[in-house]
């Protein structure tokens, strides 16, 4: 198992639920070769954890800050963490 270069744990705040945001994030993650997950939170935020190359994750965060048409991202709170290679693909998780 190869450990990815970087890991980002982020929360998107704004109008990010009910606008296809999770699918937008999933498509953007796949485009940059990231693995991990995205889910809605009951407080209205969207949470994501992604591993991959640092440059790929930076590109993913740029897309997350932009968001899909119909949504509005007020801010993205991000934390860079040590990657552990636990993911094999990028997918959706249940709302928490």
| Catalytic residue list | 22, 40
**12's tokens:** 């998107």
Question: How far is 73 from 34, CA to CA, in rounded Å?
Answer: 21
- Look up tokens 């740029």; give the residue: 62
Contact 63, 28 (CB under 8 A): yes
């Amino acid at each position: 198992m190869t450990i990815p270069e970087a890991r980002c744990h982020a929360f998107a705040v704004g109008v990010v639920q009910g606008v296809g945001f999770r699918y937008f994030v999933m498509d953007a993650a796949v485009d940059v070769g990231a693995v991990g997950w995205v889910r809605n939170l009951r407080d209205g935020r969207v949470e994501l954890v992604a591993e991959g190359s640092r440059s790929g994750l930076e590109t993913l965060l740029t897309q997350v800050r932009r968001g899909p048409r119909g949504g509005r991202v007020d801010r993205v709170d991000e934390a860079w963490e040590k990657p552990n290679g636990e993911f094999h693909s990028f997918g959706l998780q249940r709302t928490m």
